[in-house]
Chains A and B, each alone.
Chain A
Amino acid sequence: MNNKLIKAYILDCFLWSYSIIVLHMILFDRIIQGLSESNFSWHTVVIEVLVGIVVASILFFIKDFSVGRLSTGVIKPDYENSWWQKAYVYLSIFYVTITLITGFLISQVSMREFFSQQGLKGAYRIFMALAHPNFRIFEVTMFAAIETIYMALIATVIAIPAAFILSFFAARNLTRAHWFFQAIYVFLRICMNLTRSIEPLVWAIILSVWVGIGPFSGMLALMVNSVASLIKLYSEQIETIDQGPVEAMVATGAHPIQVIWYGVVPQIIMPFLSYTIYRWDTNVRMATIIGLVGGGGVGTLLMQYQMLAKWNEVGLIVVVIAFIVWAMDYASAKIREALK
């Protein structure tokens, strides 16, 4: 109960501080004063946060005026009054509205530029060029595309055994028994989340410095990302297994490795295959993107022609990429269906 109250209070303080800062820095400075950029100072921020806390502290004790108390379940929503009779409804609408307005302002949404004469002309030129792909570079593109597919395949294949073995140590239900395995579990989870929080694009940049620009760095980037993602998918699958067969294997006096091989693996093998094929499919799509930063394959080709503004060639490459993505998508869906 106390815990909930504290959460509710913190949420209210945050909402009010946020509202006041946004109202001042974005809406007041940009709309009313017409500045293109707010003059930022930590003093105003601190003062506004304090004002927010004061406002929140006052409204917190007035019935119906605390969104925090409602959303943490401290007060029950009353069903007797209609929604337009409740203050927190208006408050919520207010928070959402200022957030949306701020969003539009910051992302500089402008209809004028979207429909400007020059802009439309440029877009027309590029779309026309893309619609007339240059088939003279078809062979080059094809070879680059094949490079991409194989790159993705090898990245997946190398990732499978590593992810397979590590996933057992990253599954909560198998690591509960001993503190040593719990430590491995925590360590693996942290590594996995760190790895996954860095996009494969960034990995490709890092690794291309390490091993040089080309398919190898792209493959390594995909592999690193695949291992982390597959561990997550695999271990979550392991956590959903039926404990019964595991118990039965333990009861026969089997060694822990045998318990896993007979009690766990048969239950997860099909989802594992399905995830793995999906991963290959994802890797092919990512490989084209990774090529843009020098990871080799069809993406690198795309980047080269795009920098030269050769839109007809870019058009052909886009067609080839679209075909590969569609084909992989179709094939992986079919295979996964058959595995069920």
Chain B
Amino acid sequence: MLQIKNLSKTYPNGCKALKNITFEVKRGEFLVVIGLSGSGKSTLLRCINRIHDPTEGTVIFDGQDITGLKGKHIRLIRSQIGMVFQHFNLVPRKSVLVNVLCGKLANTSILRSIIGLFQSKDKIKALKNIDIVGLTGKERVRADNLSGGQKQRVSIARALMQDPKLLLADEPVASLDPATSHSVMKYLEKINKELGVTVICNLHFLSLVRQFASRVIALKDGELVFEGAPNEIDEDWFRRIYGEDAVEVSVR
């Protein structure tokens, strides 16, 4: 469903974030991207939904080359790809409900969204998605007043509003404590298994990778250095991905 071919990204400051990356993602997969901070994981995800423009290479989503799309066309593609972020990126001063409804902005007219008049079928759907992430009763609470784990669940619900074919998760648990991390990962797994959404997720902790990933790719200095099943990452591979001196930290 997603093909990345020879993807390279060089930032205007000359930093080469991605070098000639090629891989493929099949429908229903839970693909985890690992690698050191600064290895290009976030850039890779942002090139997929074109928040960043790749310098070279192609991104093929659902059989369509989306690399050169502009304006309305790329917005249509983005509306089919959900995204959750390390720092949640919720809209401050707005309620949980409005934050979740933001996932439907692409299908709401500009005028309606400015006066905050979302369609009632969207509201019903938002309530359902809030229920899926276990936040029923918090609809009217302001998003800034939630805890980290709850915020991340709101952002998952927001992504679900898009009925995404693909969900990009950029280090979704990196600012959460171990217990909350696990629960957020469980929700991502649920979305993957029960709703059949393909997930691409950046992660740091190998214990979580082994538990949740169906396939793993590893980046090092912007290059793809590993592709395979999670249990294939042994001591040897670990050192190759994270450097000679790395020692694995266990969450538990």
Question: Which A residues have a C-beta under 8 Å from some C-beta of B?
Answer: 244-245, 247-255, 257-258, 261-263, 266-267, 269-270
Partner of A263, one of B49, B81, B91, B168: B91
Q: Which of B72-87 contact A (CB under 8 A)?
A: 75-83, 85, 87
Q: Judge if B202 is at the interface, Cβ distance under 8 Å.
A: no
Q: How far is the CA of A262 from the CA of B103 in the complex (A)?
A: 11
What is the size category of the interface that chain B forms with chain A?
A: 20 to 34
- The reply to whether B93 and A249 form a contact with Cβ atoms under 8 Å apart is no
Which B residues touch A258, using CB under 8 A? Answer: 105, 108, 110, 113-114
- The reply to whether A251 and B92 form a contact with Cβ atoms under 8 Å apart is no
Q: How far is the CA of A154 from the CA of B82 in the complex (A)?
A: 45
Q: List 20 A-B contacts (CB under 8 A).
A: A244-B85, A244-B87, A245-B92, A247-B51, A248-B83, A248-B90, A248-B91, A248-B102, A251-B81, A252-B103, A252-B104, A253-B75, A253-B106, A253-B162, A255-B110, A257-B114, A258-B105, A258-B110, A266-B93, A267-B93
Partner of A255, one of B75, B80, B87, B91: B75
A266's nearest neighbour on chain B, judged by CB, is: B93
Q: Judge if B94 is at the interface, Cβ distance under 8 Å.
A: yes
Q: How far is the CA of A242 from the CA of B87 in the complex (A)?
A: 11
- The reply to whether A254 and B105 form a contact with Cβ atoms under 8 Å apart is yes
B114's nearest neighbour on chain A, judged by CB, is: A261
Which A residues touch B114, using CB under 8 A? Answer: 257-258, 261
* Additional A-B contact list (11), CB under 8 Å, known A258-B108, A267-B93: A248-B85, A249-B102, A251-B78, A252-B79, A252-B102, A252-B104, A253-B75, A253-B77, A255-B105, A262-B94, A262-B105
Q: Judge if B19 is at the interface, Cβ distance under 8 Å.
A: no
Q: How far is the CA of A48 from the CA of B178 in the complex (A)?
A: 74
Which A residues touch B87, using CB under 8 A? Answer: 244
- The reply to whether A252 and B94 form a contact with Cβ atoms under 8 Å apart is no
- The reply to whether B75 and A262 form a contact with Cβ atoms under 8 Å apart is no
Q: Judge if B155 is at the interface, Cβ distance under 8 Å.
A: yes
Partner of A248, one of B80, B94, B104, B155: B155
- The reply to whether B83 and A251 form a contact with Cβ atoms under 8 Å apart is yes
Least Cβ–Cβ distance between A98 and chain B, in angstroms: 46
- The reply to whether A251 and B105 form a contact with Cβ atoms under 8 Å apart is no
Question: Which B residues have a C-beta under 8 Å from some C-beta of A?
Answer: 49, 51, 75-83, 85, 87-94, 102-106, 108, 110, 113-114, 155, 158, 162, 168
- The reply to whether A252 and B89 form a contact with Cβ atoms under 8 Å apart is no
- The reply to whether A252 and B78 form a contact with Cβ atoms under 8 Å apart is yes
**A245-B105 contact given A250-B51, A251-B81, A253-B79, CB 8 Å threshold:** no
Q: Which 6 A-B pairs have the closest CB atoms?
A: A253-B79, A253-B78, A253-B106, A244-B89, A248-B89, A254-B105
Q: How far is the CA of A252 from the CA of B74 in the complex (A)?
A: 11
A255's nearest neighbour on chain B, judged by CB, is: B110
B74's nearest neighbour on chain A, judged by CB, is: A253
Q: How far is the CA of A255 from the CA of B91 in the complex (A)?
A: 16
Q: How far is the CA of A255 from the CA of B73 in the complex (A)?
A: 11
Q: How far is the CA of A18 from the CA of B207 in the complex (A)?
A: 70
Q: How far is the CA of A247 from the CA of B104 in the complex (A)?
A: 15
Q: How far is the CA of A248 from the CA of B159 in the complex (A)?
A: 10
- The reply to whether B91 and A251 form a contact with Cβ atoms under 8 Å apart is no
Q: How far is the CA of A269 from the CA of B93 in the complex (A)?
A: 9
**A262-B113 contact given A245-B90, A252-B158, CB 8 Å threshold:** yes
